[in-house]
Amino acid sequence: MLPAAQAVATNSVVATLAEVQELAAYLTKKSIWVIGGDGWAYDIGFGGLDHVLASNIDINVLVLDTEVYSNTGGQSSKATPTGAIAKFATSGKRMRKKDLGRMMMGYGYVYVASICSGANRNQTLKAMLEAEQYPGPSLVIAYAPCIAHGIDMARSQLEGKRAVECGYWPLYRYNPTLAAEGKNPFVLDFSKPNWNFREFLLGETRFTALNQQPESVKEALLAQAEHEAKQRFANYLRWQADTLC
């Protein structure tokens, strides 16, 4: 842009543009980050989020996914997983968590990452840097253990680690730049889960509250939650193996 302006500049503008040229090293790339919760991203702000991510602009979105509307007292959102107790889902959510990352990967030109700092700081950093560097829209979904989960918040990083290890929360990066290089854009960042899934769920009061339900209901919801997580992991393995993603 500057050389083109210099080519047509006259009079005092020439000196001004020369000064701009001299100071060019100080003109850094503007980094734009939008930060919001799951209630906003998955539900009430989804139309806007979808519109922005479907655009061609270089913008980054970080979703702090507490899996409930935390600020207003823990109402269930579309990010709330099967079986979790929340307001408006007081007997345990009956439907699965919306897969926002998968939806946005469908565009093919949106950078998408699922992260959890308690489980893997290196992957968290990598994803944030890649999102920043990607010259289009980026979405980073971060697992955010919350007081509404009924855990000891002093150990929230450890809870995140457990969530990843048992297959509850996935770590992945989908980078359209790799596809442009003929490579698979989908990278799975966690190895085979230990599937201590139930143990993990029953360590949080949002799931132990299912004890108030008939045993058959509790059992069905816990089994459904685990089945969905296994299905999701199987999908990730397929995508990772797929060279034509």
Ligand X SMILES: Cc1ncc(C[n+]2csc(CCOP(=O)(O)OP(=O)(O)O)c2C)c(N)n1
Point out which residues bind ligand X (CB under 6 A).
36-40, 44, 64, 66, 69-72, 77
- Give 71 or 211: the residue with its C-beta nearer to ligand X: 71
Least spacing, CB of residue 49 vs ligand X, in Å: 11
d(CA 86, CA 25): 51
**CA separation (Å) from 199 to 96, 168, 191, 203, 240?**
19, 11, 19, 6, 28
Least spacing, CB of residue 144 vs ligand X, in Å: 8
- Give 56 or 72: the residue with its C-beta nearer to ligand X: 72
- Give 73 or 108: the residue with its C-beta nearer to ligand X: 73
- Give 65 or 226: the residue with its C-beta nearer to ligand X: 65
d(CA 204, CA 79): 17
Least spacing, CB of residue 148 vs ligand X, in Å: 8
- Give 9 or 34: the residue with its C-beta nearer to ligand X: 34
Q: Which residue is nearest to ligand X (CB)?
A: 37
Q: Are 210 and 218 in contact (CB under 8 A)?
A: yes
Q: Are 150 and 159 in contact (CB under 8 A)?
A: no
Least spacing, CB of residue 122 vs ligand X, in Å: 25
d(CA 128, CA 38): 18
The DSSP call for residue 86 is B
**CA separation (Å) from 75 to 69, 93, 225, 240?**
5, 11, 19, 34
Least spacing, CB of residue 215 vs ligand X, in Å: 31
- Give 105 or 146: the residue with its C-beta nearer to ligand X: 146
Distance of alpha carbon 214 from the chain centroid: 34
Residue with tokens 């919001």: 36
Least spacing, CB of residue 24 vs ligand X, in Å: 40
Using DSSP's 3-state secondary structure scheme, residue 81 falls into coil
